Structure 1
Amino acid sequence: MKSAINLRHLRAFVAVARDSSFTRAAERLLLSQSALTVTVRQLEEHLGVALFNRTTRQVVLTVDGESLLIAAERIIGDFDHALAAVTETAKQRQGRVPIAVVPSVATRLMPPLVRGFHEIYPDIRITLRDDNGRGVHRQVLDHDVEFGISNVWRPYPELEFTPLTSDRFGLVCRRDDPLAREEGPFNWAGIDQKRLFIMASDTGFYTALQNTPEFVERCPTPAGEVLAMVTMLDMVRAGLGITLLPELARPAAVESELVFRRLTNPAVHRHLCLIRRRNEALSQGARRIWDYIRAQVPREIELNAAP
């Protein structure tokens, strides 16, 4: 039975051919001369030809050996070049890892997570690419980032969704709005769709609300749609209407003009996921960030929870 041939056999053959000596080649490869001799013999037996003419004074390539040397050096060179290229790419990825995240996650969750991660891994830099739900999915699909954070905008079969956390929707209105007079959760029955502005269909907010029967039933024709969350909050501040946002998108605690009241009967949640391409391994840097986020997000959600 012929021995399986691999790069070890080719490297041994090339070393002997270049040094014209089993002794010198064995020293360079850090092998015993007997082990090197066995390796070359296995290659010759597999090919069914003699690769060297051996005498007591010299080792010379045969015609078959000269033909193999050209191919063997090319194969080894291509392999070593490929390894070097992959290693260099891995180093670059480890140094800077872009992540696509929806704006509410970028502003509320990521700052403390990035700070904490950099304290542990100072050589891995996180680049945040905030986008709406549709954009996060597209960046992952297009290989612009290795993974992203959003709720499921569309269940693409090419993507894998790992549950991360959830936050609850609530009503956002001006502090002087009649809907802000009472404290505590807010019932769906009190929503006036003529005053309601919602986030546009490209966003994960829209997807979560459209999956809620109460929203579809009570708010079939809201006053309008807005693509950017910042614009939405500015419109509410200006007294143009009210909106529905998840807790991570609610106005900051220091916001004096707006209030946030959780929705009830029923409560509605946005389910955030880590999103990656299915059956594709993450780089070392991205894997460390992924694992850190999964471990730390529950604590950050608790700190950001509305009172």
Structure 2
Amino acid sequence: MDIRHLNYFLEVARQKSFTKAAQALYITQPSISKTVKNLEEELGVTLLDRYGKKVELTDAGEVFARQAQEIVNSFHNLSSELDDLMHLKKGHIRIGLPPMIGASFFPKVIGEFYKQYPNITIQLFEDGGKKVEKDVVSGALDIGVTVLPTDDSLLDGYIFVTESLKVVLHPTHPLAGEEEIHLSALREDAFILFREDFTLHDRIIGACQKAGYQPRIIYESAQWDLISNMVAAGLGVALMPETICRELDVEEVCILPLHERIPWELGMVWRKDRYQSFAVREWIAFTEPMLKKANDEPLC
């Protein structure tokens, strides 16, 4: 029994005739008669009372017709739902974003996406890059933004920002007048870092260790504006991506190049071996060209 067989039976019930049903369905009468006969044999009941050229539903046929119609309606609804998805009329996307980059890149991108696909909903989860990557791998998120590189055996993605970190100092810091700063020159300073669930946390500590010292960390935060405010209050120094530095008030903090290049590459990533919904695949195609303009044309 399949949906085609149910449609054949329902058409016979509507027409009360095998001949008229066959004509309406553009099939031969023997084919439709055989299909109905097979249904009766499969179910073990008589569905149609045949007399002459007329047919009527039996009691069992009435029950079967009601249920068959519901099944056919559900199938048509399913087909419509899938058609909507394929044409991107609806869907849901779970996206992970580090808090430090959400405000800088995504308000305009999400706004433009909603204009084109108003029935696709987006649920944002703010976490550090390490947690975002872990949740994409586990399937808790459909897609995520994180600092590269990631495990390319599990994840696909694209890069949309390639930058370096800069030093953020209080304007009265002794090094504030330099053209660039060597990381070793910050040996005696207190550091304000992103939390340990951010990729930059370990990357900055590793760079300091490579420069010959263990950084003295006085505070960790998930919020870049809080970190910059603490620097502005003279509590320590910070290393921040160029994109974030463009958001800072240069009257409150001094931003200088770092001699040692600490790379900061942002990427959109998704699980390599997992089926991606139509909405997610369209998000990827829609956002890639927009986000790759981010370095030259900030989207905030």
TM tier relative to shorter chain:
0.7 to 0.9
More deviation, 125-134/81-90: 81-90
Q: What is the SS of the residue equivalent to 1:281? A: coil
Contact in 2 for aligned 1:170/1:262 (Cα 8 Å)? yes
In the alignment, the residues of structure 1 paired with residue 286 and residue 71 of structure 2 have an alpha-carbon distance, to the nearest angstrom, of 40
Contact in 1 for aligned 2:168/2:239 (Cα 8 Å)? yes
1:255 equivalent to 2:255? Answer: no
Contact in 2 for aligned 1:153/1:203 (Cα 8 Å)? no
**Partner residue of 1:113 out of 109, 112, 129:** 109
Q: Deviations over 1:58-81 (max 9, x none)?
A: 125689978976774565455456
Q: Displacement of 1:274 after TM fit?
A: 1.6
Provide TM-score, normalisation by structure 2: 0.74
1:136 equivalent to 2:136? Answer: no
Q: Displacement of 1:243 after TM fit?
A: 0.9
Q: What is the SS of the residue equivalent to 1:301? A: coil
Q: Displacement of 1:231 after TM fit?
A: 2.0
**Partner residue of 2:8 out of 9, 12, 19:** 12
For 1:282-297, list aligned pairs within 5 A. 282-284=277-279, 286-297=280-291
Aligned to 2:269: 275
For 1:220-259, list aligned pairs within 5 A. 220-228=214-222, 229-252=224-247, 254-259=249-254
Contact in 2 for aligned 1:13/1:40 (Cα 8 Å)? no
Flag structure 2 segments of 5+ consecutive residues without an equivalent: none
Flag structure 1 segments of 5+ consecutive residues without an equivalent: none
- Are the structure 2 counterparts of residues 45 and 25 from structure 1 closer, same or farther at C-alpha, using a change threshold of 3 Å? closer
Q: Displacement of 1:233 after TM fit?
A: 1.1
In the alignment, the residues of structure 2 paired with residue 190 and residue 60 of structure 1 have an alpha-carbon distance, to the nearest angstrom, of 95
In the alignment, the residues of structure 2 paired with residue 154 and residue 225 of structure 1 have an alpha-carbon distance, to the nearest angstrom, of 26
Contact in 1 for aligned 2:98/2:126 (Cα 8 Å)? yes
In the alignment, the residues of structure 1 paired with residue 132 and residue 151 of structure 2 have an alpha-carbon distance, to the nearest angstrom, of 13
Q: Displacement of 1:44 after TM fit?
A: 4.2
In the alignment, the residues of structure 2 paired with residue 170 and residue 301 of structure 1 have an alpha-carbon distance, to the nearest angstrom, of 15
**Partner residue of 2:209 out of 216, 219, 227:** 216
Structure 1 counterpart of 2:11, which letter?
A
Q: Displacement of 1:16 after TM fit?
A: 1.5
In the alignment, the residues of structure 2 paired with residue 66 and residue 119 of structure 1 have an alpha-carbon distance, to the nearest angstrom, of 48
**Partner residue of 2:185 out of 182, 190, 206:** 190
In the alignment, the residues of structure 1 paired with residue 163 and residue 228 of structure 2 have an alpha-carbon distance, to the nearest angstrom, of 18
Q: What is the SS of the residue equivalent to 2:258? A: strand
Contact in 1 for aligned 2:40/2:47 (Cα 8 Å)? no
Contact in 1 for aligned 2:85/2:91 (Cα 8 Å)? no
In the alignment, the residues of structure 2 paired with residue 259 and residue 36 of structure 1 have an alpha-carbon distance, to the nearest angstrom, of 86
Q: Displacement of 1:181 after TM fit?
A: 0.8
CA RMSD after TM alignment: 4.2
- Are the structure 2 counterparts of residues 104 and 90 from structure 1 closer, same or farther at C-alpha, using a change threshold of 3 Å? farther
Q: Displacement of 1:102 after TM fit?
A: 1.6
1:301 equivalent to 2:295? Answer: yes
Q: What is the SS of the residue equivalent to 1:99? A: strand
- Are the structure 2 counterparts of residues 40 and 195 from structure 1 closer, same or farther at C-alpha, using a change threshold of 3 Å? farther
Structure 1 counterpart of 2:209, which letter?
V
Q: Deviations over 1:218-276 (max 9, x none)?
A: 343422341232221111011111011122222526532213233333x1212222233
Aligned to 1:164: 159
Contact in 1 for aligned 2:194/2:201 (Cα 8 Å)? yes
Q: What is the SS of the residue equivalent to 1:10? A: helix
Contact in 2 for aligned 1:196/1:223 (Cα 8 Å)? yes
Contact in 2 for aligned 1:174/1:257 (Cα 8 Å)? yes
- Are the structure 2 counterparts of residues 68 and 252 from structure 1 closer, same or farther at C-alpha, using a change threshold of 3 Å? closer
In the alignment, the residues of structure 1 paired with residue 40 and residue 265 of structure 2 have an alpha-carbon distance, to the nearest angstrom, of 60
**Partner residue of 1:41 out of 34, 47, 63:** 34
Q: Displacement of 1:141 after TM fit?
A: 6.5
In the alignment, the residues of structure 2 paired with residue 120 and residue 14 of structure 1 have an alpha-carbon distance, to the nearest angstrom, of 40
In the alignment, the residues of structure 1 paired with residue 77 and residue 232 of structure 2 have an alpha-carbon distance, to the nearest angstrom, of 59
Q: Displacement of 1:173 after TM fit?
A: 1.0
In the alignment, the residues of structure 2 paired with residue 225 and residue 148 of structure 1 have an alpha-carbon distance, to the nearest angstrom, of 26
In the alignment, the residues of structure 2 paired with residue 46 and residue 95 of structure 1 have an alpha-carbon distance, to the nearest angstrom, of 37
Structure 2 counterpart of 1:168, which letter?
S
